[in-house]
A and B are shown apart, each in its own frame.
Chain A
Amino acid sequence: MGIPLSYSFRNLWTRRLTTVLTALGMALVVFVFSAMLMLAEGLRKTLVETGSSDNVVIIRKSSATEVQSGVDRYQASIVETQPEIAIGQDGMPLLAKEMVVIISLSRRDNGGEGYITTRGIGKSSIHLRPQVRLVEGRLPNPGSHEILVGKSVAERFKGAGLGETLRFGMREWKVVGIFDAGNTGFKSEIWGDADQLMQTFRRIVYSSILFKLRDPSRFEEVKRRIESDPRLTLEAKRENQYYAEQSKMMVTFLRILGTSLTIIFSLGAIIGAMITMYAAVSTRTAEIGTMRALGFKRLSILTAFLFEALLLGLIGGCMGLFFASFLRFLTVSTMNFQTFSELVFDFILTFDIAWKALSFSLIMGFVGGVLPAVRAARMNIIESLRST
């Protein structure tokens, strides 16, 4: 068994140009394949980490997003008295009445427009989102025209850096702090005092209410009570669920795009592998005959050529994965048409993706190599020895 295998291995080395070209084709397919998976993973991670399953978001019935929703003060005060709400260190309920709008800012790089979620926050808003962390400056004073800006907004939009001012709603807003929020969607938001922002945008209702559950398992109970209360026209969702629903369209879109691209591209690469392997078989007819004459079984020949094809696939897979790993340094920002606002996420490489990409490359090598290998194994000894 050793000889056919090393024979295959050395053949790849001898025909370097062909090997490199075939592997390059596969590498590019694996690159696209893993890039799509990394993008989807980045998006998924952003969504999962944005919400916590202990938190509950209250929005108006049948409004899909916070921006569309409206919760008036009377309704908000009823929600505030639900017994399931956790109590913070200061003895006050961990609940925030927030107002969410979208404003347009111009980008630093090309002056283009970006729609940024602007959130009027309450006292507990920051405690309710442990992922949010102040990295520079300080928190805004309540009741002032001071704002806190997410890291990716501060970097990318004019007037949003620390110490700069943004002008909207006939007022100047001073940026006093920058916050980081890990992989969550909050890092592309602007936060300010809810009452000040509501006044500025002439809003008389809140957009949503967020609170933490005293006991996460009591979600169904509070949901039922809120949704069946005749005074309320609200619905309750777990926070992570809420964010997952918001980018359903985006996730589906990326998945369809990724799958169809990968299928089409892998066709090309499989054909490339097939060409290479058929050529490998036909130029080595005499050698195959010799090996058979020496007593190697058909099965050994089949294995040798399949091994060669798999090795080719593996080389391509490693190359593709190597290049794809550099994508981790990229950040994607795009419009989420469901929420009508910017969504920023990274490419994320996980062990699972690496494993999938490599097995995908092996599958391509196998599919490309199986027919040629069968042909090699079925060769007649006499005839193949006769050919030169």
Chain B
Amino acid sequence: MFILKILVRNAFRHKLRTFLTILGITVAILAFGLLRTFINAWYGGVEASSASRLITRNSLSLIFFLPLSYKDKIRQVDGVKTVSWGNWFGGIYVDEKHFFANFAVDAKSYLDLYPEYILTPEEETAFLRDRKGFVAGRKLAKRFGWKIGDTVTLRGTIYPGNWDFVLRGIYRGRDESIDETQFFFHWDYLNESLKKTTPSRADQVGWYMVGVSHPDLTPEVSLAIDRLFKNSIAETLTETEKAFQLSFIAMSEAILIAIELVSFVVIIIIIAVVANTMSMTYRERIGEYAIFKTLGYRGWRIAGMILGESMVITGIGSFWGILLTFPVARYAGKILSNYFPVFKVPAEAIYMEIVASFIVGILAAIVPTWRAIRIRIADGLRRID
């Protein structure tokens, strides 16, 4: 306890400098935590994916369709429980700035396959009964102030024209990791309209979602599905929902790596700042250290004092930084909600912040500690700064 008191007293001998250093550490640790949260948000969809769902898509790429007739063939594969399908609609609400994901799905099977989207039974029946109905996530409905029964018009980019939908349900996510900003409607509405306007584009499915009876069966089932359509005009690629999501993230990994690097740069910056403070502290107290040595204190005791002081300063700064991470992340999440539907501080971000603060505290004290250990008493007493 006595030692701690000395360390804290020493740390606050230069109030202004210590205050500035602490402020710097707080900002840096906060920035570090936010960047980690940001990286985590990219992986948001992966976390929410289920192990027993497969995605079947055209092996050429996602922009190519699969025939609707595949649904019955996929259903016949051993181990397949549910088959649902959907198309990316890519509609625009008002203008491009109001972007959100919107797609057409086979409603009944989709809701069966995705129990994490929770609708009340009344809403579900209302949605299933109305072919022009749609369901929106809680956050999306809140963002535009939509209420049940409202008509929403989307301008199609892939499917031309203005499309009217009626809001029949607002879903909630089962937990925080579920995206609550989606918009989905009846695939039949899209398909029947296409049959009238452009029959050549009807009965085409963007991707199939396949529910497997047991997670262990996914490798065999996905191989079996792809084997069915080998050497056909529309070959398929089936993978787990997780692999599907990860393949998207991998495509923009350059940006992720850059952000990751930058998050470490901020730590290096703060190490430089704290190391600077510590080396100045050391320089001012050379005389004192020499006196300590004269009194018979060993080098490691003095080293401990410097290291301890560095840890006290970083500790206080990091504490505030970690504490501030939560409110600031919540605020940032609100701003970025269009880009990242799920933006919350993950536990590992906090662990990394703690580890980072220890590293800062130790590395910043290395040079002054090393010098203090090596200082010769006569030199220390002679030197005036």
Residues of A within 8 A of B (CB): 15, 17-18, 21-22, 24-25, 28-29, 31-32, 60-64, 67-68, 101-104, 112-115, 168-170, 201-202, 204, 233, 253, 257, 261, 264-265, 267-269, 271-272, 274-276, 278-279, 283, 332-335, 337, 340, 342
Contacts and interface: CB of A to CB of B under 8 A. Distances in A.
Contacts of A264: 27, 30-31, 266
B155 A62 contact: yes
Given A253-B339, A265-B31, A265-B266, A101 B367 contact: no
B16 A278 contact: yes
B339 A113 contact: no
A275 B20 contact: yes
B266 to A, nearest CB: 6
8 contacts: A18-B276, A22-B272, A25-B273, A64-B157, A101-B61, A170-B231, A276-B276, A334-B255
Contacts of B251: 112-115, 334-335, 342
A268 B24 contact: yes
Find the residue from B60, B160, B255, B276 having the highest chain A CB count within 10 A. B276
B248 interface: yes
Given A265-B266, A268-B24, A275-B276, A68 B157 contact: yes
Nearest to B249: A335
Interface size class of B (residues with CB under 8 A): 35 or more
Interface in B206-259: 231, 233, 247-248, 250-255, 258-259
A64 B262 contact: no
A271 B273 contact: yes
Nearest to A114: B251
Please provide the 8 A-B residue pairs with the shortest distance between their CB atoms, ordered closest to farther.
Answer: A335-B251, A272-B273, A271-B24, A21-B276, A25-B272, A104-B61, A335-B252, A264-B31
A62 B156 contact: yes
B27 A275 contact: no
Contact of B233 (A170, A253, A275, A335): A170
A64 B272 contact: no
A62 B255 CA distance: 29
A271 B21 contact: yes
Contact of A101 (B16, B23, B63): B63
A169 B233 CA distance: 7
Given A268-B266, A334-B251, A274 B20 contact: yes
Contacts of A32: 262, 265
Contacts of A24: 272
B101 to A, nearest CB: 11
Given A114-B251, A276-B280, 9 more contacts: A22-B276, A24-B272, A62-B92, A267-B24, A268-B266, A271-B24, A279-B280, A337-B252, A342-B251
A278 B157 contact: no
Contact of A168 (B16, B60, B63): B60
